[in-house]
Amino acid sequence: MSGHDHSHDHDHSELSDIELRVRALETLLTEKGYIDPPALDELIETYETKIGPKNGARVVARAWADPDYRDRLMKDATAAIAEFGFTGRQGEHMVAVENDETTHNMVVCTLCSCYPWTVLGLPPVWYKSPPYRSRAVRDPRGVLDEFGVHLPEEKEIRVWDSTAEVRYLVIPERPHGTHGWSEDRLAELVTRDSMIGTGLALDPAKRETAA
Active-site residue numbers? 109, 112-114
DSSP result, 57-106: HHHHHHHHH-HHHHHHHHH-HHHHHHTTT--STT-SSEEEEE--SSEEEE
Yes or no: say if 176 and 149 are a contact pair by the CB < 8 Å rule.
no
- Residue 210 CA to residue 160 CA, distance in Å, equals 33
- Residue 167 CA to residue 32 CA, distance in Å, equals 39
DSSP H helix total and E strand total for the chain: 12, 4
